[in-house]
Structure 1
Amino acid sequence: MELVTPEIGLVFWTTVSFLILFFLLAKFAWKPIMGAIDDRERSIEDALLKAAAAKDEMARLTNENESLLKDARAERDLILLEARKLKDHIVSEAKEAAQKEGARQIELARIEINNQKNIAMADVKNQVSALSIEIAEKILRKQFEDQGKQDALVADLLKEVKL
């Protein structure tokens, strides 16, 4: 049982050693340890405050970015709408100009065709009349080669004419 119950001398010297150690620690180590703990506590508080400020700043920047993105999307949509309107306007103007030009080209072609047709008809008429005159001349020459036929034709013509 001696191991479980300490002697009075051991208790006395243990107490004295503890008090000396406590006095030395209180005199020399307590203030620096407490200062370090206070510094550490302040740095942790500062870090927490900075983290909260950074979180608030991030939330503000996020909201600002979202509003900027919303504005940019609205502006993009407006620009795309204007571009579509301009494209449609240009396309319709181009179609209208192409239709006008096509109608003008068709009318010019129609006029040219009519002119060519009239020229061709006049040429055909001239050729037909020239051929008719040539044929009539050949027929008349052949018919009038004989004097008796000429006299008979004149007599027939005179019979048909009534005075």
Structure 2
Amino acid sequence: MSITATLIIQMIVFLILVGFTMKFVWPPIATALDERAKKIADGLAAADKAKADLAAADKRVEQELAKTRNETAALLADAERRAQAIVEEAKSRATEEGNKIIAAARAEAEHQTVKAREVLREQVAALAVRGAEQILRKEVNASVHADLLNRLQTEL
């Protein structure tokens, strides 16, 4: 056999192999490659969508956190205002109660002073009568004596 015939037969066999490959082998490989490329593209698209969803979720979380911080700050400020109001109210009640106690103590002191003056007047009157009795050493009329004591007591 000559080399030319061998080359021609090999070329024919090669062309048959290429034709067979193009008709039966290449379409499933191309389909598999296309499917793989589609899956990869879908995966990338899903990853991009997941990134976008994650960014949106992060944004919502940040908004909720900011809202919660603002509400917490408002609640703390309100609690502080209420605490300050309670303290002020307690101070005013304490001042009012202190003023009542002071007024009651002054009234009691005034009452005690009046009482002590009355007792002192009675004692001074009794001493004056005793002194007068010792000086005069005589009997005085009891009704006149009582009138003198009452006048002396009112004068004191």
The residue number in structure 1 matching 2:112 is 116
Greater CA drift, 58-67 or 17-26: 17-26
Query: In structure 2, how many angstroms separate the alpha carbons of the residues matched to 1:105 and 1:13?
Result: 131
Q: Work out which structure has the larger RCO, using CA pairs closer than 8 Å and 6 or more positions apart in sequence.
A: 2
Letter in 1 for 2:89: E
Task: For residues 8-62 of structure 1, give each alpha carbon's deviation from its aligned partner in whole angstroms, at most 9, with x where no partner exists.
Answer: 9997898787666655544543333222222211111111001101111111111
Q: 1:131: how far off?
A: 3.8
Q: 1:87: how far off?
A: 2.2
The residue number in structure 2 matching 1:41 is 37
The residue number in structure 1 matching 2:73 is 77
Say which one has the larger Rg: 1
TM-score normalised by the chain length of structure 2: 0.67
Question: Please, which of 52, 69, 83 is the counterpart of residue 56 of structure 1?
Answer: 52
Aligned pairs for 1:22-37 within 5 A: 22=18, 25-37=21-33
Task: For residues 64-106 of structure 1, give each alpha carbon's deviation from its aligned partner in whole angstroms, at most 9, with x where no partner exists.
Answer: 2222222222222222222222222222222112211211111
Q: Post-superposition, which runs of at least 4 consecutive aligned residues in structure 1 deviate over 3 A?
A: 7-29, 134-141
Greater CA drift, 88-97 or 101-110: 88-97
Mark the runs of 5 or more structure 2 residues left unpaired by the alignment. Answer: 139-156
Query: In structure 2, how many angstroms separate the alpha carbons of the residues matched to 1:130 and 1:21?
Result: 156
Give the % identical residues. Answer: 35
Mark the runs of 5 or more structure 1 residues left unpaired by the alignment. Answer: 1-6, 146-163
Aligned residues: 136
Q: Does 1:96 align with 2:83?
A: no
The residue number in structure 1 matching 2:64 is 68
Letter in 2 for 1:117: T
Aligned CA RMSD, in angstroms, stands at 3.1
Letter in 2 for 1:39: E
